[in-house]
Amino acid sequence: MLLETLKFEWRFYHARHLLGLGAFIFFLLGFAMTGRVGSGAGSLLNAPYALIPIYQLLSLAAVVIIAVFAGIAVLRDHHHDCEALVFTTGLGKNRFLAARWLGLVLVSFAVFACASLGIMLRTLLPHGLHGNFAANDPWVHGRILLTIALPNILLIASLLFAVALRTRNAMATCAAGMALYVLYLLCSALVGSPLMAGEAAVAGPDARFWAALLDPLGTSAFFEDTAAWTRLQRDSVFPAWDGLIRGNRLLWSAVTALILIYVWRTDPFRQTASVAFGLKRRTVAAVQVSAGDGLVAETLIAETLIAETLIAETLIADRAAAPAYRPLQPQFGCSQWFRAWLSCLCLDALYLVKSFPFWVLMGLWAALLLGEIAPIGRPYPFTAPSLPLTAVVLERFQFDLLPGFGVFLILFYSGDLARREDAHPMHPLSATTATPHTVFFFAKLGLLCLIPLALITVAVMVGVGFQISQGWFRFDWALYGSLYLYGGVPLCLAAVPCLVLQTLSPNKYVGLLAAAAFLLFFSTGLCAMVGLEHPMWRFAAVPGYQYSDMSGYGYFPEAFWHYTLFWSALAGAMLLPASALNRREKSVPLLMRLRALPARLKRRERWAVAGCLLLFVLVGGRIGYLTNVVGAYRTADETELIRVAYEQSYRHFTDLKQPTLQAVKTEMAIYPRQGRYSLQAEYRLTNPHGEALSALLLTVNPNLVVRDLALKGARFETDAAVPGAYAAQLTLPFQPGETRVLTFSIEHRTTAFTRIGGRHQVAPNGTLIHGAAHFPTLGYLPDRELQDPMRRASHGLGDPTPPRTAAHAEKDPGGGDFVQFETLVSTSDDQTAVAPGRLIGHGVEAGRAWFHYRGEAPMRDGVPYLSATYAAQNRNIAGYEVTLLYHPDHSFNTDSIWEGIEAALRYGTRRFGPLPQPRLRFAEVPNTTGISGYAGPGLVLMGEFSGFNHDLSNQTGMNQVFRRTVHETAHQWWGHLVAPAAVDEGAMLLVETLAKYTELMLLEQTAGIEQTHRFVDHEVERYFRARVREPEMEHPLSRVRGDQAYVMYAKGAAAMNALRHRIGEPAVNRALRQLVGDHAHPGPAATAEDLIRMLVAEAPDQADFIREWLTEVVFYRSVVERVTLTPLPDGQVALEVICDLSKVRHADDGRDHETAFSQPVTWSVTLGEGDAAQTMTKRFPMQNGTNRLGWILPGAPTRITFDPKRELLDEQRHSTKGALAKPFGG
């Protein structure tokens, strides 16, 4: 019998086209997500590690479809007015609930499983993905479906089923789905799920543990359990059923069971929806009245009956006293239409705000916002919280959360609103008034537009509340107000297709799924997968939506208004016909309605549609012009082809020597209001080689056009297929030692329509034009080559240009590219233009401010130009003239910045030697540049949210702004005074790792050794979390690649800390001073080997130790098995520690191998507490395997520490520390 009922359920969903539509959507989702989410870089894209997050994310998407199905499963009797029929049959409660619930699970799972087909099909079509696929293994998919997807579906289905049963309300069901979504997001953010783009692990281990356990979809548990997985594991291992994954699954399975038990025990079976939902109503009597052709159960309130009796008795008296009825002549026209629209809107809004689910959803939204915003004020380890500026608060949700949540809500409410007539059939009443139906239709649209308004208002309230809670009362109301425009309007536009599709669809749920599919495809970038990647395909989205306190929304408003007009015109063209289709005869099939559409549209409506379409085309044409022509837009394929053509045409230049740059002289005119700059430049070139040069290649950003190129004896040629490359055969060979002058000009306009030239652009206030991104470079640039091996193979390209190693550097040191620099830079008269060098003149002419800078010593090429309204502070520190330039409203942390500058300059000058240029500028740049800190020659840039706006009031012993300032200042030695050789491997050891060392030393001076060690522990944890995500081979510090930040920064800090302890700070500093002495310009460029040699020279007995840290990838795993304290008769205490230790080497095969070792390791014990604490250290010989250590102590220790100075790179240090830190009483 149950089987028959299930069959009926299946047929029911099938007949409503929901199965097919849902299956198609999940097929597409599976197809689209494959290779885009979940996979670690370089891993197999369909390995279990990559597939599980896809299925987990699909579970999140399944919330939508299960909410729809749950609504049908529970509410269909109510919606179709057949409750009385169903509940008066012999159907029992158990069978009813079982059939509906099982039917729900069955169809949900069937639809979900279609994603597997999409995933498997995607793996057969690898075009466009950067990665590899293994052969499809259906068993892997089946296992994931059963162990990951099914429990999620059971949970979601049970929860939504229960809510639908208890409330009989579709929006309440939606709210429950939203609650799951919020919980998932919060947990993912806490764990630092890779699925949350750009999130780092922000919480401590305890919070991560709970987040992993409480994540309803299991994503956080999965990522927490596999955080340390190597690439090999990611490619081949299926996660074991243990750890947090098991805990999470068991917990939520139990929750599912509890929900079901609750449903079975409490469901008020056989009560109609009105009764079930109105449990709080004062139901005092139930009678049956005859109505029409049948019996309908109806609850009447006794009070009503009493009232009606009284009415009957006093009818005559009442009528005598009643106001006289007088007909009123109606008035129609625009005024009445507006009033009617307003009245409908108010009525719908009243209905909305009186509904309980609406407030639940608003509550969820507020909770989600709080979860997102609260971390701003939380002092996580070694990351200072931000000041709760309005821009910082908004940044947490403005660009992703608000659009996502808003669309989700609009989607659901569009279904509810468009079909409200079905639930409360007022249509015959309103349709027989003389108010045009368009008014009703647009009132619904108006209500949908109120939803973003409500969301934004709640967001503003939460934001302001948070600021107040942080003691911050400087609210930027204008910025909050801008949310309504820039955040609200796109959401209002998104409401249009939702409403239109609801109008066209045969029922609410088909409309819901169709609208979801539309928005998912056209608003999330999925359309790019089928080649629709132009921004004009992204419905209601505007490119370049970002905000900076310095430059506001930049030029975004121009793009915003264009796109808003563009999409509004399309929306208008859709709305009017949809409004006509929606009129009165809803029961008529869509095709017939469409056929009759031309006749239904009135003349003025037809003109309006035509006008909208014309506007759409005209504005679209202008956007296309601004994007494609002015903005030089290119598709990904076009960009790829340019790379291929560049390599094919110019790779032979790698073998051709090129002249070097000696001096750069520029005239840079920046026009912030117009968003453009004009550059006239002069390069003085020389031939340092021993042979004449016959060919020259200039490479520049392909989106920039270099004009007026002129060089004696050269005629530059360009190839339309390779924009940005200018090659010249020199008719007059460039003789050795000869100097020639190359001149050129560049005109560039920054536009919000595309982001050419990277993120460094002209801005209304906060221009940053980086020479490296905007100026031509001499010679062939291997980094322009296509890197993905599969894509290279598809274009018939062989191996890419091999990286330059130390061997290359010995043959051709190059590097440095020190030049004499001079520039005349002008800007609007209310701004200051900044460039490196000494300011030798400035003034204002014809409304333009000009500044003349000249370098006082040769500096590395690639200087930044800035222009903004700055406040300035000047100081003389250790003989340097230092200027601090900052946004006038961002003076919060200038004292800390000064402290950092002073400490670094004094330490560096004393320990490493003086800088050649006596001038240094620090300038704030907008966060939209993407810069947190960048050290140019004599000009250090700091991002507005990366120092200037940190909240330093709640620091735990470490001033982050100070630390960051020290780091950037240190680059004046490490990167500028000592320039690394032009190698692709190992250069960053001399730049970032040595800056990190300087940072550590000054941290120790100011915060103490304990704090420094905690910081090193933090860096070690970062290293181990990041190394497992290495897409290629992990390199040692001596060969670190430019993209291996976790090596150069995190491991670099640990290495320099270990060296500083093992060979001593003075010895390290002597080596570094030696490095400066030997390799500062005009000396030869330095290599990693130069540094290692000098360090070894300072401590020859530690040569192995130094080389292990710097030239190998080696780490240790220590596990303390047991600690025993035995009191001795003489009052002493015998300490015994059993510790497993292993040494691991990362080999060339890409795997970690345990390796033999035997060496002394330091242990320390602390006796006593507080000021009376006494620390003893001792070195014990240790080797691979289990080590048993014994130590007679004068008393019971309060702390035992393995390797207290962090001389070993210990993967397990975090867990070991916890075990040993606990008090060890007698």
Partner 1 sequence: MLRITNLSKTYPNGVKALDGINLTLSHGMFGLLGPNGAGKSSLMRTIAGLQKPDSGQILFNGVDVLQQPQALHRRLGYLPQEFGVYPRLSAFRLLDHFAILKGITHKKQRREQVAAVLAQTNLEEHRHRAVSAFSGGMHRRFGIALALLGDPALIIADEPTAGLDPGERNRFHQLLARLAQDRVVMLSTHIVEDVRDLCTQAVVLVGGRIRLAGRPADLVGGLAGRVWRKAVSHDQEPAMCHRFHVISTRLHEGRLIVHVVAEKQPGPGFRQVAPDLEDAYFHVLRQCETTAAERTCHVA
Which among 311-319, 757-765, 813-821, 1048-1056 is the span making contact with partner 1, rule CB under 8 A?
311-319
Instruction: Scan for tokens 């549209």, then name that residue.
Output: 601
CB nearer to partner 1: give 443 or 756: 443
Residue 316 near partner 1 by CB under 8 A: no
CB of 8 to partner 1, least distance (A): 24
Query: What DSSP letter does each residue of 721-738 carry, written as one string?
Result: TSTTEEEEEEEEEE-TT-
Element (H, E) at 1003: helix 994-1007
Number of other CB atoms surrounding residue 329 within 10 Å: 4
Residue 895 near partner 1 by CB under 8 A: no
CB of 300 to partner 1, least distance (A): 6
**Contact characters 571-610, partner 1, x per CB under 8 A:** -------------xx--xx--x------------------
At 1165, the amino acid letter reads V
Which among 342-350, 411-419, 836-844, 1126-1134 is the span making contact with partner 1, rule CB under 8 A?
342-350
Which among 198-206, 347-355, 700-708, 994-1002 is the span making contact with partner 1, rule CB under 8 A?
347-355
Which among 82-90, 425-433, 740-748, 791-799 is the span making contact with partner 1, rule CB under 8 A?
425-433
CB nearer to partner 1: give 85 or 257: 85
By CB under 8 A, name the one of 127, 280, 354, 811 that touches partner 1. Answer: 354
- Using CA atoms, how far apart are residues 979 and 958, in angstroms rounded to an integer? 30
At 1162, the amino acid letter reads T
* CB neighbour list of residue 98: distance below 8 Å, 6 or more residues apart: 2
By CB under 8 A, name the one of 90, 198, 330, 796 that touches partner 1. Answer: 330
CB of 332 to partner 1, least distance (A): 5
Q: How many CA atoms lie within 13 A of 825 on its CB side?
A: 26
CB nearer to partner 1: give 15 or 291: 291
By CB under 8 A, name the one of 1, 15, 197, 328 that touches partner 1. Answer: 328
Q: Which of 1059, 1056, 1037 is nearest to 1046 (CA)?
A: 1037
By CB under 8 A, name the one of 15, 198, 242, 292 that touches partner 1. Answer: 292
CB nearer to partner 1: give 250 or 594: 594
CB nearer to partner 1: give 423 or 656: 423
Residue 494, both tokens:
């998104």
CB nearer to partner 1: give 323 or 1082: 323
Which among 338-346, 460-468, 540-548, 969-977 is the span making contact with partner 1, rule CB under 8 A?
338-346
CB of 614 to partner 1, least distance (A): 29
CB nearer to partner 1: give 288 or 1177: 288
* CB neighbour list of residue 381: distance below 8 Å, 6 or more residues apart: 204, 956, 1014, 1018
Query: What DSSP letter does each residue of 444-471 carry, written as one string?
Result: HHHHHHHHHHHHHHHHHHHHHHHHHHTT
Which among 34-42, 312-320, 622-630, 950-958 is the span making contact with partner 1, rule CB under 8 A?
312-320
By CB under 8 A, name the one of 94, 266, 288, 304 that touches partner 1. Answer: 304
Helices and strands (DSSP H and E) totals, the chain: 44, 29
Q: Which of 542, 540, 577, 565 is nearest to 618 (CA)?
A: 565
CB of 585 to partner 1, least distance (A): 6
**Considering CB under 8 A, how many residues would be counted as binding partner 1?**
58
Residue 425 near partner 1 by CB under 8 A: yes
CB nearer to partner 1: give 125 or 279: 279
CB nearer to partner 1: give 285 or 1128: 285
The phi, psi pair for 132, rounded to 5°, reads -120, 155
Which among 305-313, 627-635, 1044-1052, 1076-1084 is the span making contact with partner 1, rule CB under 8 A?
305-313
CB nearer to partner 1: give 432 or 876: 432
Q: Which of 402, 552, 386, 399 is nearest to 466 (CA)?
A: 386
CB nearer to partner 1: give 339 or 910: 339
User: What is the footprint of partner 1 within residues 429-458 (CB under 8 A)?
Assistant: 429-436
CB of 342 to partner 1, least distance (A): 8
- Using CA atoms, how far apart are residues 458 and 362, in angstroms rounded to an integer? 7
CB nearer to partner 1: give 332 or 607: 332
Number of other CB atoms surrounding residue 1187 within 10 Å: 18
Which among 334-342, 681-689, 791-799, 1007-1015 is the span making contact with partner 1, rule CB under 8 A?
334-342
Residue 305 near partner 1 by CB under 8 A: yes
CB of 347 to partner 1, least distance (A): 5
- Using CA atoms, how far apart are residues 1084 and 1087, in angstroms rounded to an integer? 9
Q: What distance separates the 2 farthest-apart alpha carbons in the chain?
A: 120
Question: Left (φ > 0), alpha (ψ -120 to 50) or beta: where does 1193 sit?
Answer: beta
CB nearer to partner 1: give 261 or 307: 307
* CB neighbour list of residue 493: distance below 8 Å, 6 or more residues apart: 539, 540, 564, 567, 568, 571
Q: Which of 584, 593, 612, 572 is nearest to 505 (CA)?
A: 593
What are residue 868's DSSP bridge partners? 832
Which among 100-108, 417-425, 514-522, 1135-1143 is the span making contact with partner 1, rule CB under 8 A?
417-425
CB of 576 to partner 1, least distance (A): 18
CB of 360 to partner 1, least distance (A): 16
CB nearer to partner 1: give 127 or 354: 354
- Using CA atoms, how far apart are residues 594 and 580, in angstroms rounded to an integer? 10
Residue 15 near partner 1 by CB under 8 A: no
Cα dihedral: 241, 242, 245, 246 (round 10): 80
Which among 319-327, 551-559, 623-631, 962-970 is the span making contact with partner 1, rule CB under 8 A?
319-327
Contact 888, 961 (CB under 8 A): no
Residue 1097 near partner 1 by CB under 8 A: no
CB nearer to partner 1: give 308 or 691: 308
By CB under 8 A, name the one of 1, 322, 629, 1156 that touches partner 1. Answer: 322
- Using CA atoms, how far apart are residues 337 and 1129, in angstroms rounded to an integer? 99
Q: Which of 1133, 1108, 1105, 1138 is nearest to 1121 (CA)?
A: 1138
By CB under 8 A, name the one of 85, 285, 286, 350 that touches partner 1. Answer: 350
- Using CA atoms, how far apart are residues 922 and 873, in angstroms rounded to an integer? 10
Question: Exposed, middle or buried: residue 128 (CB in 10 Å: 0-12, 13-18, 19+)?
Answer: middle
Number of other CB atoms surrounding residue 894 within 10 Å: 18
Q: How far is CA 189 from CA 183, 197, 199, 215, 371, in A?
A: 10, 10, 7, 11, 9
At 1171, the amino acid letter reads D
CB of 425 to partner 1, least distance (A): 4
Residue 317 near partner 1 by CB under 8 A: no
Residue 294 near partner 1 by CB under 8 A: no
Residue 356 near partner 1 by CB under 8 A: no
Element (H, E) at 28: helix 18-33
**Contact characters 260-289, partner 1, x per CB under 8 A:** -----------------------------x
- The site for partner 1 (CB under 8 A) is made up of 289-293, 298, 300-301, 304-305, 307-308, 311-312, 315, 318-319, 322-332, 335-336, 339-340, 343-344, 346-347, 350-351, 354, 420, 423-426, 428-436, 584-585, 588-589, 592
